[in-house]
Chain A
């Protein structure tokens, strides 16, 4: 009689066997067991049926056209696909786009303001 944890381990191996994840001695052990033990074979059948039912129930009824999907993705990226084209839609340096962030703009504005203020004060002889 198998201890519960041992039975659970053997049962888990049936699941792995179903998915082709066993090899070597574990594969041999399960293959032999399936021949000799009807309950193991029934258990494997149940797992197989469940897997198939889940696959059928959850799977999409149809598949959208992948080419059209690719066109839509490229459209969202604002790139017109052209056969053989090598378009650089990003900075040539590995696609990194540089742009002025609000923080950077604010800093430049402050520097400009400070510069103008200093120039004005110097003209008046204050600085």
Chain B
């Protein structure tokens, strides 16, 4: 899933925030349009539910609008926004009566491209990575991710977002960069072990 690359620098961000705080609607709208794909992608990856993800993202941007006045620029706008989205997503996940992962298979029957039990995540063709991933495989991979402890799972989910560096992940989670590196590595080792046992790799 390609998310728009948002190229910003500190001065442009500060000017952007200043305009929004000053009441410029279009500036805030632009912020939402620019960051919505990344925010939605993160929320979906945590919640595995389109409706919940969209609600959380809406809540997040409303919260962001109210909190922008307090944005100090100590981190980038991207990491600040993603931190809010992640927190709200985790809160939603915790509050649900059934976890997102357990709803797999019960909820995803109507997804587009699912007629043959295959989830077409990319059209087969010249792209060597245009793989079709079977529904069952997806379930097992998600179950493997679910088996990780929350700190490892958070890092793994964030690492799947495009263009997030270890430094950015560290800022979102408010942990040292070394912790991100070690957690991600630990998560991958565990996932490799689990998926090898399941003959998926």
A33 interface residue per 8 A CB criterion:
no
How many of chain B's residues have a CB under 8 angstroms from any CB in A? Answer: 60
Count of chain A residues near B, Cβ 8 A: 48
Which secondary structure dominates where chain B touches chain A?
Answer: helix
| B37 and A63 contacting across the interface, CB-CB below 8 Å | yes
B50 and A85: CB pair below 8 A?
Answer: no
CB of B21 within 8 A of CB of A85, answer no
- Min CB distance B166 to A, Å, is 5
Q: A46-B192, A60-B53, A61-B111 are in contact. Are A51 and B160 (CB under 8 A)?
A: yes
Q: A63-B40, A87-B25 given as contacts; is B54 within 8 A of A69 (CB)?
A: yes
B85 at the interface (CB under 8 A from A): no
Contact A94 B40 (CB under 8 A): no
19 contacts between A and B (CB under 8 A): A15-B184, A16-B181, A21-B165, A53-B200, A56-B138, A56-B141, A59-B121, A61-B112, A61-B121, A62-B50, A69-B33, A70-B36, A74-B25, A74-B28, A77-B65, A86-B26, A94-B21, A95-B68, A95-B69
A interface list, Cβ under 8 A from B: 11-12, 15-16, 19, 21, 46-47, 49-64, 66-67, 69-70, 72-74, 76-77, 79, 81-90, 92, 94-96
**B residues whose Cβ falls under 8 Å from a Cβ of A:** 1, 21-26, 28-29, 32-34, 36-37, 40-41, 44-45, 48, 50, 53-54, 57-58, 61-62, 65, 68-69, 111-113, 119, 121, 129, 131, 133, 137-138, 141-142, 145, 156-157, 159-160, 165-166, 181-182, 184-185, 188-189, 191-192, 195-196, 200-201
